[in-house]
Amino acid sequence: MVYLAGCQTVNEEEIAPQSAEGDKEAPEQQVAQVKDWFEQNEADLNQRSKRGNTNAREANPDAFFAPFTEKLPDWEDMHSYRFPDGRQVYEVSLKNRQYVIPRPVRETLGEEDIDKKVLQNMLFIERQGGGYDILIARYYPASEADVKAFDEINYGMLADGWSGTVDVYGYDEGHANGFKIENGMVLKKSEYRIAKDNSSKIASSWGNCTGYWIEYPYHSQLYYDQWVLYGGLAEGPPSTYVESCWFPTTAPAGPPPNGGSTSGQNPSHNNISQIEDQLKNPCMNSFHDICFPQPGSYSQPTDAQLKNQIKDKPFVLLKDVPCETLKKWIATAKHTVGQVQIDKLKKIANNSTIKINGKPTYSDIAHIQKLDDAYSTVVNMDYFPVTVTQLPLINGKRATPAQFLSHIRKNINSFVNTYYSKFAPYNAYGADDTKLWNSSNPFGAVVGIDIKGPDNGSVIVSGYTSSKWTFTTVHDPKYSNHPVSGNRDFGYIKNANGSYTFYTRGVDRLTSWEGTFAQWMSDKISEENKVPSPFGQADKLWKSFQSKLTDYVNGHGGKAKTSSPQVERPDWKDVKDVMEGKKSLSTLSKDCE
């Protein structure tokens, strides 16, 4: 089902609550970014959601909407995790004391302290291109023994053995999905719709359905002034009788008519944009196992598991790697950034004064992301070459190799598939490197990269000659951390037979726990197209570099042929020992003996 959350289209059915061994507490910078975005957009979100709530009720009289209330996020604590498709999620508690309680839950848990037994949280899901989609998740424990505090359960981390129901709503309070969980396992999903009668059991061809009341108890005078939709009545608005229909999470069935859609249309009738989304995103098939990972099936690994279970690790001995290739990888890994470039990055800073819950202020200053400081124990070492036996014509003249490399740099987006990454000179926080990047010597230019998925990043030209330039990854206040840390060369060499080899060669490691987890997930499932991995997406980008460079040469009066790429992912410790002279090259490759 496709519905609007915060008036933005969200494919909620891609995500079911997941079991995990832990999540990461969001750092202050991330808390501040989410909070700042919400406060800037809150008024518009509220206005459009109130209007959308009313319009959608009229368009979908069977769809269930809880009464809309303005949201009061509690920024004191925040969970941070990723959905299986890579989207970053920040989850905060809501301070609102207006609750949405199915009557069977109230009857099980009792009236006393019901507001302390039910959790309702707000999920901010990073949207590609900026901003967030918003979901509301409500956690209903099956018994007193299943009552959990905020820090014990979240949408990315169902507590071990937890039983209950998780209901998901859009920002406008349109019901999207419910999940039945027993002993930490997602068993089935549900949809609400307005019932035609008040019978407890409803015969329906739609599914296994049960009817009951949804109530809106109001607790605590602290937020009395927020309950304005129904005239400030302390008992809250009237209850609603709904039909709740359950389906197995693996059933190959479509969504019910109008069920929970807040888009104002029947979700079973796809429009053109939805069809395009479906082609781009296989998880639009909402019952696909990959889109709905079951608790325990793909649970988040511990640090130790992450560092030992990536499929391509370990390659302690790179048996078939030519020693010369290995030497060049080591040289790329050992490349360092000069002080001039380090000093330049210090001037790219977001010096906004931000206070978070009374904690000290901070400034976000750009800096180098060192290979040695990254998270993953696996290091990516790749080489993507193209052999050019005749250089192309540029503006009617045969290019020199240096001229062709310069042309590639200045037109780099024409030499890669921008679906995976798009490059642009950095222009933010007082830095504009457009002229420098497009000059004859781009040394020191910072370049931003719009990377497929939730993470973008920046690099700096940390080395430059007429035959090679080197990118080094950086943290910057616009994009935060680059998803990998390390160096990448672009260059050419002249071969003994007079031909040239143009190439890109990289040595990098996954920067964060989250990126390492994404790689682990993809390797565990072994379906790259359905669960993309950071390394796998990078491989596709640089293969596109090979093919587009080859096509350009052959299409402009030259001759070129793509050569086989070399990609190795050994244990970082072994590579580092060779870099530091603690071990010989022969410990990595027999060709160096």
Give the per-residue pLDDT at 585: 81
Q: Are residues 424 and 557 in the same domain?
A: yes
Whether residue 500 is found in the same domain as residue 391: yes
Q: Residues 343, 239: one domain?
A: no
User: What is the count of structural domains for the chain?
Assistant: 2
Alpha carbons within 13 angstroms on the beta-carbon side of residue 213 total: 10
Residue 240 shares a structural domain with residue 387? no
371 and 505: one domain? Answer: yes
Q: Does residue 322 share a domain with residue 244?
A: no
Domain assignment present for residue 263? The answer is: no
Residues 344 and 467 in one domain: yes
Residues of the chain with pLDDT under 70: 1-27, 52-59, 84-86, 128-129, 196-207, 218-238, 248-320, 351-363, 512-534, 593
- 160 shares a domain with 60: yes
Are 165 and 51 in the same domain? yes
444/450 Cα distance (integer angstroms): 20
Residue 288 lies in a domain: no
518 occurs within a structural domain: yes
Per the domain annotation, does 258 fall within a domain? no
Structure tokens at 357: 């819950």
What was the pLDDT predicted at 63?
81
543/395 same-domain check: yes
pLDDT at res. 285: 30
d(Cα 208, Cα 248) in Å, to the nearest integer?
Answer: 10
Residue 10 forms part of a structural domain: no
Which pLDDT does position 15 carry in this prediction?
A: 52
Q: Which residues touch 488 (CB under 8 Å, ≥6 apart)?
A: 332, 459, 470, 471, 504, 505, 506, 507, 508
- Tell whether 16 is covered by a domain: no
Q: Is residue 293 part of a domain?
A: no
Q: Which domain holds residue 173?
A: 28-219+234-248
Q: Are 208 and 339 in the same domain?
A: no
| CATH number assigned to the domain comprising residue 542 | 3.30.530.20
The pLDDT, as a whole number, for residue 141 is: 93
Supply the pLDDT for residue 318: 57
Give the per-residue pLDDT at 196. 65
Residue 533: predicted pLDDT: 62
Same domain, residue pair 203 and 71: yes
The 10s digit of each residue's pLDDT in 46-86 is 887 777 666 666 667 778 888 888 899 999 878 887 776 66
Would you state the pLDDT for residue 305? 45
**The pLDDT of residue 18:** 59
- Report the C-alpha gap between 504 and 21 in whole angstroms: 38
- What sign does the CA torsion over 513, 514, 517, 523 have? negative
Output the pTM of the full model.
0.50
pLDDT number for residue 508: 92
Q: What is the DSSP string of 238-275?
A: PPEEEEEEEEETT---PPPTT-S--SSS-TTS--HHHH
Cis, bond preceding 425 (omega within 30 deg of 0): no
Residue 109 covered by a domain: yes
